[in-house]
Chains A and B, each alone.
Chain A
Amino acid sequence: MTPTGPNVTWNGVDVQTAGTTSSALTIDLTQAANLTYNWPASAGLTIKDVRLEMFYFGYAVTTRDVFLSPVQDHGPVALDWTPLSISYVLEGGYRLTASLIASNHTTMWSENFYVRGNAPLGILALLPIVLLVIIVYELYGLVRSGRYAMLGRTARAPAPSKPPEETPPNAPTTPPESPGGNTPPSGGSS
């Protein structure tokens, strides 16, 4: 059956089947992904660039392009991608966009699909480890927070009402006498 419009396959699987996070393609991030962009001449698309982008927080963290020279009005075009260098960080679910771009940089067609990347050693990828350590540390801090109540009460404890024992309670406030005892009157000139 001849496809009526553009389509993209990921290792032979049509990415239209991975349009939601629940139906994401499970991929091994250490293995090469072979994408095939195909569009019939009847679609009337003149393509200069086929592109694959991976998005995270709205930004394209990874972009792969295959520039066509000369431009093509039909597929297929192969694009290979091996995300090995970032695989230990990228474990998780991501949205990817496959695009067909014309010579004037206009996106003529695009398709969003989702992949779930499994890093080498599975859950032992770098970012999940960091997140798990932070979770355990914060849970430990939360459990210990009861002790901070005691610390807070100690810090807000009122000053003792009784004065220290070194100071007599009612010490005389008279000024001290001079050391000489009897001070001669001033102005005693003969």
Chain B
Amino acid sequence: MSAASHGAACGVVLGIVVVIFLQQIAYLDLSDLVPSIEYLIVGGVVGGVLGAVIGWVLGRSYLARHAASGTTVAK
């Protein structure tokens, strides 16, 4: 599993959870089904895209910082 895909998975969960959490602090109204499902889908998609980008960036920076040790391990 690559960093981008792992970040996307984390982001989808985060996006959905943040939407529910906003309702818990009375910032969002999830009383009706149709806008609530839309909020959850939008939260999941936005979270997934942002998570994939963040995971990709973090993966590249991690690889850049650990490239030397990775070569050593390969030997």
Interface contact tally, CB-CB below 8 A: 115
Instruction: Specify the main secondary structure of chain B where it touches its partner.
Output: helix
- Best-surrounded residue of A114, A116, A135, A148 (most CB of chain B within 10 A): A148
Main secondary structure of the interface of A (DSSP, over half): helix
Q: Judge whether B34 and A146 touch: CB under 8 Å.
A: no
Is A91's CB within 8 Å of the partner chain B?
yes
Contact with B along A124-135 (1 / 0, CB 8 A): 010110011011
Say whether A76 faces chain B, with CB atoms less than 8 Å apart: no
Are B59 and A131 in contact, CB atoms less than 8 angstroms apart?
Answer: no
Instruction: List the A side residues contacting B25 at CB < 8 Å.
Output: 92-93, 128
Q: Which residue of B lies closest to A141 (CB)?
A: B10
Shortest Cβ distance from residue B13 to the other chain A in the assembled complex, whole angstroms: 5
Question: In the complex, how many residues of chain B place their beta carbon closer than 8 angstroms to a beta carbon of chain A?
Answer: 40
Tell me if B14 and A142 are in contact (CB < 8 A): yes
Q: Is A164 an interface residue (CB 8 A)?
A: no
Contact-size category for A: 35 or more
Q: A58-B33, A141-B6 are in contact. Are A150 and B14 (CB under 8 A)?
A: no
**B50 to chain A: closest CB distance in Å?**
9
**Which residue numbers of B lie inside 8 Å of A, CB to CB?**
1-4, 6-7, 10-11, 13-14, 17-18, 20-21, 23-34, 36-37, 51, 54-55, 58-63, 66, 70, 74
Residues of A that sit less than 8 Å from B by CB: 21, 24, 55-59, 91-95, 114, 116, 125, 127-128, 131-132, 134-135, 138-139, 141-143, 145-153, 157
